[in-house]
Amino acid sequence: MSLIRDLFKNTGVLTISQITTSIMAFFWTTLYANYLGVGDYGTINFAIATMGIITIFMDFGMNIYIVRDVSRNKQVANVYLGNIIPLKILLSSVTVLSASVILKLMNYPNLVILISIIFGIQTAIMNMNSLFNGIFQAFHKMKYQAIGSIINSTLLLSFVIVAVKLDLGITSIALAYLTSITLTTIYLVKTLKKLVNNIKIRFDFKFWLEVMKKATPFGITSIFTSIFFMTDQVMLGAISGDYALGIYSASYRILTVFITLYTMYTTAVFPFMSNLYKKSDNILKITYEKSVKYLLALALPICVGTSFYADDIATLIFEPEYVMVGSLLPILIWNIVFTFVNGISDSLLNSTNHEVGVTKRTGIAGVFNFVLNLILISKFSYYGATISTLLSGLLVLILNNYLISRALFKINSSLIVDIIKISISAAILAIVLYFIHVSMWMAIPVGMITYGMAIIITKVLDDDDKYIVKELLKK
C-alpha cells in the first residue's frame, strides 16, 4: 500500500501549496479587480483567455506525453529536457509574435495588444515550467512543484500590492504576472538540475518530429479544451462587452479557487495511473473509482454552500459594481461537479493510451460549446455563457463514461450507490442550510458538522476507505 501513501503524500503536499496559493490568489484578484474596475478587469481577462487559447501552439500536447513516458521510464528524462526546451522556445516565440500580429490586424486598441503580449510571454514561461513540473511529477517529487507554486504566488501578491498602492495602472498588473513567473523559473531550473543529470541542449529535428507526432492527439485535445474553457470568455467579451466579461470572469475566478484543489489531485494521480497501466489493471480501476467518489464528496457540499451564500461571497470579495456576481455564481458553481469528475476521467484515459478517444470527445464538446455560446450569449449574455458551460460539462461526462465502459471497464454498481449516498448527504446539508438562516461564517462550521454526520449516517465510507485511511496513518 506504499503506492497509496505516496499518492496521497504528493496530493497532500500539492494541496497545501494550492490552499496557500488560493488564499493569496483571493487577495491579489480582489485587489486588482476592485482597483481596475469591471472594464479594465475585463481587458485583463480577455488577454489571459486569448493567450490561454494559443498556449496549445507552444506545447501541442508534449507535456502530457512526456509525463506519461518518463513515468514509465525515468532514464529518458534528460533526453526529453535537452531536446524539448529549445523546441518550446521556438514554438513560443512564433506563437506570441503571430498572436500580436493577428490582434493588430483585427484593430484591437494598442493597450489591449500590449497587455496581451505581456501575458503571452508569461504564458510561454508558464508552459516551459509545466515541462519542468511534469518531470517532478514523473519522479514523484511534487514538493518542488509545490514550492515553486508558493514562490510564484507570494511574489505575484507582493507585486500586485505594490502596483495598486502606487497606482501604476493596468500594465503593471500584467508585468506583475510576468516578473513573478520569471523569478519562479529560476528556482525550478536550479532544482531540476539536481534531480536530472546531464541535461544538454540539443537540436535533434528527427526527435522533435517523433515527439510531436506522438503528442499530436494530446495537442489536438488541448486545442479543443482551450475552445471549451476559453471560448466563452472571448466570445462574451466580443458579443456583450467588457462589463459582461468582467462579471463572468469574476464569478469564474471564485470557481477557480475550488477547481485548483482538484487539479492538485489529478496532477498527482496521473503519473501513478500511467505507471499502473498494464501492470495492475485492478488497482487502476480501484484508483479511478475511489477518485471519483472522493472528488464528488468534496465538490457537492461546496456547490450547495456556495449556492446559498453567493451574495455574501460576492459582497465579501468585490466592490458594489460586481453585484451581479451574486446572481450568477449559484448557477455557475455547479460546473465544478463536471470539472472534478471529467478531470479524473481524462487522467484515466490519457494514462492508458486512449488519448485519441479523448481528442474525439473533446472535439465534439468543443464544437457543441462554441455553437451554444454563439446562440446563448447574444440572448442571455453571461447567463448564456454559464448555461453553455454547464451543458457542455454534462455532455463531456456522458461521453467519458461511454469511452471508459467501452475501452477499459464497466463502472461497478457500488460506485453508483456511493454517488447516491453522497448526493443524499449533500441534500441533507441543503435542507439544513435552508431552514437555519444563519450567517455565512456560522454556516461554515454548521455545514461541516451536518455534512460529516450525513456522510456517517449514509455510510459513504466503506471498509476499503477505512483501510486506506489506516494505511495513510502508518509511518
Cβ atoms of residues 344 and 351 within 8 Å: no
**Top-confidence residue, 292 or 1:** 292
Name the pTM for this structure: 0.65
Instruction: Please write the tens of the pLDDT for every residue from 28-84.
Output: 877 888 887 877 777 787 787 777 777 777 877 787 788 877 877 778 888 888 888
Q: Assess if residue 180 is contained within a domain.
A: yes
Q: Of 153, 160, 163, which Cα lies nearest the Cα of 126?
A: 153
Instruction: Please write the tens of the pLDDT for every residue from 385-404.
Output: 888 888 988 998 999 888 88
Q: Assess if residue 139 is contained within a domain.
A: yes
Q: Assess if residue 462 is contained within a domain.
A: no
- Name every residue whose Cβ is closer than 8 Å to that of residue 158 and which is 6 or more positions away in sequence: none
Instruction: Please write the tens of the pLDDT for every residue from 105-135.
Output: 888 888 888 888 888 888 889 888 888 888 8
Q: In the chain, what's the furthest Cα-to-Cα distance? A: 66
Q: Assess if residue 427 is contained within a domain.
A: no
Q: Assess if residue 249 is contained within a domain.
A: yes
**Residue 369 pLDDT exceeds 90:** no
Cβ atoms of residues 217 and 359 within 8 Å: yes
**Top-confidence residue, 100 or 271:** 100
Q: What is the pLDDT of residue 187?
A: 92
- Name every residue whose Cβ is closer than 8 Å to that of residue 329 and which is 6 or more positions away in sequence: 251, 254, 306, 307, 310, 313, 314
Q: What is the pLDDT of residue 1?
A: 46
Q: What is the pLDDT of residue 475?
A: 45
Instruction: Please write the tens of the pLDDT for every residue from 425-455.
Output: 999 999 998 888 888 888 888 889 999 899 8
**Residue 468 pLDDT exceeds 70:** no
What is the span of the domain harbouring residue 208? 2-411
Give the confidence band of 6 by pLDDT, cuts at 50, 70, 90: low
**Residue 110: Cβ-neighbour burial (10 angstroms; 0-12, 13-18, 19+):** exposed
Instruction: Please write the tens of the pLDDT for every residue from 328-365.
Output: 888 888 988 888 888 888 888 877 878 778 778 878 88
Cβ atoms of residues 127 and 51 within 8 Å: no
Q: What's the residue count for the chain?
A: 475
Per DSSP, the three-state class of 146 is: helix
The amino acid at 296: L
Give the confidence band of 325 by pLDDT, cuts at 50, 70, 90: confident
Our count of domains for the chain comes to 1
**Residue 473 pLDDT exceeds 60:** no
Instruction: Please write the tens of the pLDDT for every residue from 155-202.
Output: 988 998 998 888 888 888 889 999 999 999 999 988 888 888 777 888
Q: Assess if residue 421 is contained within a domain.
A: no
Q: Of 372, 143, 116, 130, which Cα lies nearest the Cα of 239?
A: 372
- Please name the residue ranges forming H helices in 277-412: 281-308, 310-317, 325-332, 335-351, 355-407
Nine-digit cell string for 469: 485511511
Q: What is the pLDDT of residue 178?
A: 92
**Residue 27: Cβ-neighbour burial (10 angstroms; 0-12, 13-18, 19+):** middle
Rounded Cα–Cα distance for residues 289 and 283 (Å)? 10
Q: Of 80, 59, 352, 68, which Cα lies nearest the Cα of 219?
A: 59
Q: Assess if residue 44 is contained within a domain.
A: yes
Instruction: Please write the tens of the pLDDT for every residue from 181-194.
Output: 999 999 998 888 88
**Residue found by looking up cell 455545514 in the block:** 447
Instruction: Please write the tens of the pLDDT for every residue from 210-239.
Output: 888 888 777 777 776 666 666 676 677 667
Q: Assess if residue 30 is contained within a domain.
A: yes
